[in-house]
Structure 1
Amino acid sequence: MTQMVAIVILLLILYIGDFVSIRTKAWVPSVFVCAVLFLFGFWTFFPTDIVAIAGVPSVVATLLMYLLIVNMGTLLSLKELMAQWKTIVIALSGILGIIVILFGIGSLIFDMNTVIVAIPPLVGGLVSALIMSEGAAQAGLTSLSVFAIVIYVMQGFAGYPITSIVLKREGKRLLQQYRNGELAVSSKAQVQEETTDSKKGLKIFQVPEKYNTEYFKFLKIAIVGCLAYLTSVALAPVVEINGLVLCLVFGVIAKSIGFLETHALQKANGFGFAIMGLMLFIFDGLKNATPSMMLEIITPLVVCIILGVIGMYIFSLVAGKLLKVSKNLAFAVSLTALYGFPADYVITNEVIKALTTDEKERAALTEHMLPPMLVGGFISVTIVSVILAGIFVTFL
């Protein structure tokens, strides 16, 4: 398969996902549709390296993730990030729910090794799945080594549609409050904020508009990402902090001091391409889920995901009630453990666009829904899951 044929096929899949999402008003999220189509493709005629053939190898995907997560940081302020402490508590409570239910009920159905291998990938992303997969392989548990990867790949099939449903309910509630004048929003409109970005922060970072080219905007984003990476490397002997986590923090700081503008990657005209490349790489993980593999582990896979979702719902419901956070938002935040970034960003934006066409209403919904979803995904997928994997792998 040639590169141009590959990219056309993959872009067609992404567009079909968007089309279905728009037609169903986000009841069927695009990421779910794309995941199904990718799975079908890998089971039929796709070469296993179709995404790399199309021009998005892992090294490019890593670059795009650094750029995108720095850009995410520009959507938050330091004040907003600190204000998300409730989100962090809810995300942690959802993770605790997965652990308690799987150990309490799952261990009665399956052997303890299956439960141990299932939890970190269910809570997080690729890194935790790889840690558990390699640990199981070294322990001679071949089927569980495969199970760790597949549960990471397949958990989104549960997370995508459920998240879309609960976010739509939350969005409708917030929209009604906004229309009744009951929803608190930022004193400055988003458009006004963006137009005054260049006047904020330290003057040392400001350049005349004619020199503020797209390349210069890309350069500044890359500098922030590079600083985040170098900091994670420097801290490695003392404490392991994922460079991508620091990208979010450094992005927030860079926006706060005026080094980066809000939506920096969009203003550099690179956001759409970056999201496209990263989404293709995420779906590339489905190449490992062969039909025979799925048949072998289908029962523990389905049961563990169902138990995990039940655990997240119960514990996030309790945490939300104690913290006075709506049950739908609390559940949605906990569900980010099943997919993380960029799916949390994509699904949230799809739901917002489906609920209203008014830009002020969309800005209000974005302000209240997007930050907790992004922070929740980072806490569970990027941070906690890796820590859990490092602990659980020693039990095999």
Structure 2
Amino acid sequence: MNPVLAFTIIMLVWTISDFVSKKSNSLLSSLLVASVIFIIGFKTNLFPEDLLSSSSLLTFGTTVVGFIIVHIGTMISFKEMKSQWRTFLIGFVSILGMVTALFTFSFLFDGLEYVVAAIAALSGGTISVVMIQDAALASGLISVAALPVLIAAFQGLIGFPLSSILLRKEAVNIKAKLKAGDISIKTYLEMSKENSKNITKKSKFKLPKMFQTTPGTLCAVGIVVLIATYLSSLTNGVINTFIIALILGTGLRSIGVFKPNILGGIDAFGIMMLAIMLIIFGPLSTLAIDDLLGLIFPLMISFVIGITGCILFASITGKFMGYSLPMSISIGLTSLYGFPGTMVLSQEAARSAGDSDLEVKAIEGEILPKMIVAGFSTVTITSVFITSILVNFIY
């Protein structure tokens, strides 16, 4: 297929997907809409089988996965994780609950490969899905590679409504504490002003100015990815390259070498993310209709069992950490959507309960930091870590 035509069609699909997602207030994720369009397009032969490969985006996406991993690492510092260690722990344990539940009921699946694929998708985002798909496709397991695509597509439909209800309940609880004086708005505002000063304070990063341009940034991040690849090879792949890249990204941000969100704002970031997202649709082009229908049952039990395990472990851990039940479960459910859903849902919950701007800010100040860190704990860190281990069940 003509590369320019293939590229243009894919951009049209994403344009439509983003439009529908925004109109539905993210209830219908762009990933779900794009999945439906690609499935219909491939199965009706409206799209040729080589549509994705012809665009050259698949090769590009595979190349820059490590870059995005380093970028994700720079989105949070060790200091921030330390201050929210209880939240981080609840998120981590909730994923372990998901893993435990799915392996316990693994007899309901056609093989452990499907269990691992379900865990990768339910516990995290695109990176985990890409990791599991690479292994599945290398082993010729097309249907296993397709399962996480479907799970990822429907995650938002389950995670958003559940979290919205729970966070609104938590917001009401916080409002009651504000009224009772258990939480001081004044104290919160003082902390908020101090944080604002720290944020607006001019930061100096140790990365030379010549490496702060678009090509310079990509060069610097690329070097980190190469170092991660080399260190992984020293362990014979026992420690996954992506895990090392994630740690290096967080470490370099923490010591001031990399700025937070290292790739944010550079010219290439948008197309890099689109290319990586496109990777996960690859198996849909060759998957037979019968195989697709055969994934309906694994899809349903993955959600039921996985989310049940997640909620159970999050609830128990949250109780020991002194968190409320709604907050604990919400932390565990962040694996179903991650950022920016964690921010949007927190803000909506605060607005729904607060009677004034001060109350809204105070409620948001109690919920938002926990949800942001929870998203990193589940989607960004724990998911990549666990998937890098479980992927060995497929090879």
The reply to whether TM is greater than 0.5 is yes
CA positional deviation for 1:42 = 2.2
2:320 aligned partner: 322
Aligned AA (2:79): K
Q: Secondary structure at the match of 2:307?
A: helix
Partner of 2:229: 229
Matches of 1:151 and 1:369 in 2, distance apart? 27
The match for 2:246 is: 248
Equivalent position of 1:140 in the other structure = none
1:152 paired residue among 144, 148, 152: 148
CA contact (8 A) 2:90 2:314 kept: yes
Q: Is the 8 A contact 2:343 2:368 kept in 1?
A: yes
Match of 1:48 in 2: 49
How many angstroms apart in 1 are the aligned matches of 2:286 and 2:89?
A: 33
Provide, for residues 53-73 of structure 1, a one-character-per-residue CA deviation record: whole Å limited to 9, x for no partner.
122124x21332222222222
Q: Are 2:133 and 2:145, in contact at CA under 8 Å, matched by a contact in 1?
A: yes
1:163 paired with 2:159, answer yes
Secondary structure of 2:56's aligned partner: coil
Aligned residue in 2 for 1:369: 371
Q: Partner of 2:97 in structure 1? A: 97
**Partner residue in 2 for 1:306:** 304
Does the 8 Å contact 1:197/1:262 carry over to 2? no
Distance verdict in 2 for CA 1:194–1:35, change over 3 Å = farther
CA separation of 1:194/1:66 partners in 2, compared to 1, >3 Å: closer, same or farther? farther
Q: Is the 8 A contact 1:349 1:366 kept in 2?
A: yes
Deviation at residue 354 of structure 1 after TM alignment: 7.5
Q: Which moved more, 1:40-49 or 1:348-357?
A: 348-357
Q: Secondary structure at the match of 2:27?
A: coil
Aligned mate of 1:265, from 257, 263, 266: 263
1:123 lines up with 2:119 in the alignment:
yes
8 A contact 1:242–1:382 mirrored in 2:
no
Aligned to 2:202: 196
Q: Give the number of aligned pairs.
A: 367
Instruction: Please say if residues 136 and 142 of structure 2, whose CA atoms lie closer than 8 Å, have aligned partners that are also in contact.
Output: no
Please report how far the alpha carbon of residue 183 of structure 1 lies from its aligned counterpart in structure 2 after TM superposition.
Answer: 6.0
Deviation at 1:279, TM superposition (A): 1.4
1:30 aligns with 2:4: no
What RMSD, in angstroms, separates the aligned Cα atoms of the two structures?
Answer: 3.9
Give TM-score, length-normalised by structure 1: 0.75
Give 1:23's aligned amino acid.
K
- What letter matches 1:197 in structure 2? S
- Alpha-carbon distance in 1 for matches of 2:103, 2:389: 18
Distance 2:309 2:164 in 1: 21
Give the 3-state SS of the residue equivalent to 1:344 in structure 2.
coil
Contact 2:117 2:132 survives alignment (8 Å) = yes
Q: Do the aligned residues in 1 keep the contact of 2:147 with 2:295 (CA within 8 Å)?
A: no
Cα distance between partner residues in 1 of 2:80 and 2:226? 24
- Secondary structure of the residue that 2:238 maps to in structure 1? coil
Kept in 2, the 8 Å contact 1:344–1:373? The answer is yes
Q: What are the superposed Cα offsets for residues 372-391 of structure 1, whole Å, 9 maximum, x if unpaired?
A: 2133124443221342343x
Check the 8 A contact 1:120/1:388 in 2, yes or no.
yes
1:279 corresponds to = 277
What pairs up with 1:137-148 in 2 under 5 angstroms?
A: 145-148=141-144
Q: How does 1:343-382 map to 2 (within 5 A)?
A: 344-345=338-339, 347-348=341-342, 367-382=369-384
CA distance in 2 between counterparts of 1:18 and 1:260 reads 30
* In 2, Cα distance between equivalents of 1:213 and 1:369: 32
- Listed as ranges, the gaps of 5+ residues in structure 1 are 138-144
Which shows bigger deviation, 273-282 or 124-133? 124-133
Instruction: Describe the shift of the 1:255–1:186 C-alpha distance in structure 2 as closer, same or farther (beyond 3 A).
Output: farther
String of CA shifts for 1:290-314, please: whole Å, max 9, x gaps.
3111233433443343222222222
Q: Closer, same or farther in 2 for the Cα pair 1:56/1:37, shift >3 Å?
A: same
User: 1:296, 1:76 → 2: CA distance?
Assistant: 40
Describe the superposition over 1:117-136 as per-residue Cα deviations: whole angstroms up to 9, x where unpaired: 3321111134446657878x
The change in CA–CA distance for 1:100 and 1:244 in structure 2 (over 3 A counts) is: closer
Following the alignment from structure 1 to structure 2, what is the Cα–Cα distance between the partners of residues 254 and 231? 16
Identity of aligned residues (%): 22
Residue 8 of structure 1 is matched in structure 2 by 8
Q: Deviations over 1:183-235 (max 9, x none)?
A: 6866655796376223xx55xx444xx8843322222222222222222222x
Per the alignment, residue 390 of structure 2 pairs with 388
Instruction: Decide whether aligned partners of structure 1 residues 353 and 94 sit closer, same or farther in structure 2, where only a CA change above 3 A counts.
Output: closer
CA distance in 2, matches of 1:211, 1:317: 45
Give per-residue Cα distances to partners, 1:69-113, cap 9 Å, x unaligned: 222222211212344544554344334434554455564xx4xx7
**Scaled by the length of structure 2, what TM-score is found?**
0.75
Residue in 2 aligned with 1:74?
74
Contact 1:21 1:350 in 2 (8 A): no
Q: What is the rounded CA distance, in whole Å, between the counterparts of 1:332 and 1:10 in structure 2?
A: 34
